[in-house]
Amino acid sequence: MNSKRNALIIQIVVLATGVMLSCFSGWFLYKMEEKAILNEFRKEVNGRVASLYREISLNLETLRALAILFNGDNIPEFEKFRLESQNILSRHSDIQALEWIQQVNHAERVQYESKYQHLYPGFAITERTTQGYLVPAEERPEYFPAYYVDPVIDCVAPLGFDFASSPQQFEALKRVRDTAMPLVVSSRDVVQVFGDEKVFLAFLPIYKGVSSTVNTRRKNLRGFVAAIFPVSAIFEGSALSLEPKGIEMQLVDETAAAHDDILHIHKSRTGFVAYEGIAYRKELPVIWGLKLSLLASPTLRYMDDKRDSQPLLIFTAGILATFFIVFYLNSIARRNVVIEQIVVEKTKELHEANRKLKRLSRTDSLTGIANRRYMDEFLDKEWQGAIRNQASISFVLMDIDSFKLYNDNYGHPAGDECLKQVAAALKGVVHRPGDLLARYGGEEFALVLADTGDAEFVAESCRRSIEELHLAHEYSTVADIVTISVGFCTIVPGQKTSPSLIIDYADKALYKAKMGGKNRIDSFEWRHERSN
């Protein structure tokens, strides 16, 4: 009866364990797969950011080519400006318009308007009303009208538009003028743009002569070459593939004055919604004062396309294997004789495995030296021998300095490699067959030295051997290499003492070494009466 009940309990345990392991394995693989997908997703977003930055940079550099026309003594004729601008526009379709913005004082306004009216009757310096109409600009000390605009056919209205009438654009022009640095701002307040379309406005200052101070720049300013780039055209032009990726993106202006303004929203062409809970923000390098970032989220389609059936297969296989095992155990439970025979055979195998395990249990799997358990057994044996022979025994305890900082900054794989190299170096110090080097725990190592006359020399040799490895550790609080602190103690043990005594003394010596500045050795002074 008990056998049947025990067999039933075993089957229930196996079933529960198998189901849990199958679920865990499937879940674990699912998460690992998701992590790999997210890494690939971030890589694709980073590629799009690099492409977008390159696209913006290439378009902005065209202004420098256009600015060369205005470096002479006189402003070039419009035909010469248009010839160069047409050459640029033919190679850069993302540019909506190129302009020459000239500084005009109020006293020059009438003459300026009259001069241009022979080409465009009714030409005037204008500004835009709140209703969106262009009207003659109000009187100001100075104006910054669009003097040349290309393409002309699409941009008749912007001719004469005063950029000083827009507070945002006027502040940008003054900043460019005073710093002599090119600048890009995002804006909707542009004559060429209708609705909520956002553009990049790029300005490059032109001066007469050398202008190295703010005052000379204001005095010598001739005007600005400018370009208008629709944000949507720039964004679409930076696409790395014609095939839909299944990623939703937002281009955000993070320039201080913009307050995280969303410039462009790109909906996935797959038509699927974004995958909840996953968002990745990548900043573009600052270019001409413009600070942008790309906020991206994968869609459900993106995640589904990247997944495979492996987690489900593992889960299904685990469940099937579990039921098979349960069925198998149930069959075996009906044949007690066979079960008993199997138990006997398995017991023999277990004894053999335990014998092998006992041999393996003495060795630290990472460093290959003795582990703590075997060290305790060895120390106890040597301790009893020292009591019988009234001989001395020494215990050396070592700790890698600032090892947590090493792991935190170089990673645990590098930390494991460091422990291996330290163990190998210490092993080279131990020459006597009767001495034992062990990994005491974590980053601590220990030496058991039976009947040695100079434990201090061995301790210093250990410290120096690690220092001579010259393992880089730039985050150490002691040196720029890996170092150890060492504490040791030598005792002639008495009858009523235990090995924990010498370990405690060595630990106190190690504490002294740590408090004394690390990368040093210290001993604990032992007196004979303490061990009795």
**Alpha carbons 450 and 444: distance in angstroms, whole number:** 20
Nearest to 377, CA basis, from 390, 358, 399, 351: 358
Would you say 421 and 366 are in contact if contact means Cβ atoms under 8 Å apart? Answer: no
Please tell me whether residue 147 adopts helix, strand or coil conformation: strand
Element (H, E) at 488: strand 484-491
**Alpha carbons 37 and 29: distance in angstroms, whole number:** 12
**Alpha carbons 56 and 163: distance in angstroms, whole number:** 23
Nearest to 205, CA basis, from 189, 192, 188, 219: 219
- By CB neighbour count within 10 A (0-12 exposed, 13-18 middle, 19+ buried), where does 97 fall? buried
Residue 434, C-beta contacts closer than 8 angstroms, at least 6 positions apart = 450
Nearest to 128, CA basis, from 189, 193, 195, 169: 189
Active-site residue set = 443
Residue 423, C-beta contacts closer than 8 angstroms, at least 6 positions apart = 364, 367, 368, 369, 437, 439, 445
Question: Quick one: tokens of 179?
Answer: 């710093």
**Alpha carbons 395 and 400: distance in angstroms, whole number:** 17
Residue type, 423: A
Residue whose entry in the numeric block shows the structure tokens 């003492």: 497
**Alpha carbons 443 and 479: distance in angstroms, whole number:** 17
**Alpha carbons 163 and 145: distance in angstroms, whole number:** 6
Question: Quick one: tokens of 298?
Answer: 């994968």
**Alpha carbons 229 and 93: distance in angstroms, whole number:** 9
Mutual orientation of helices 336-360 and 310-333 as an angle, nearest 10°?
Answer: 120
Nearest to 181, CA basis, from 51, 65, 290: 290
Distance of CA 251 to the CA centre of its chain: 21
Residue whose entry in the numeric block shows the structure tokens 């996935």: 268
Phi, psi values for residue 170, rounded to 5° = -65, -40
**Alpha carbons 23 and 2: distance in angstroms, whole number:** 31
Q: Taking the CA atoms of the chain, what radius of gyration do you get in angstroms?
A: 40
Look at strands 146-150 and 142-143 and give their pairing: unpaired
Would you say 145 and 184 are in contact if contact means Cβ atoms under 8 Å apart? Answer: no
Nearest to 320, CA basis, from 4, 32, 25: 25
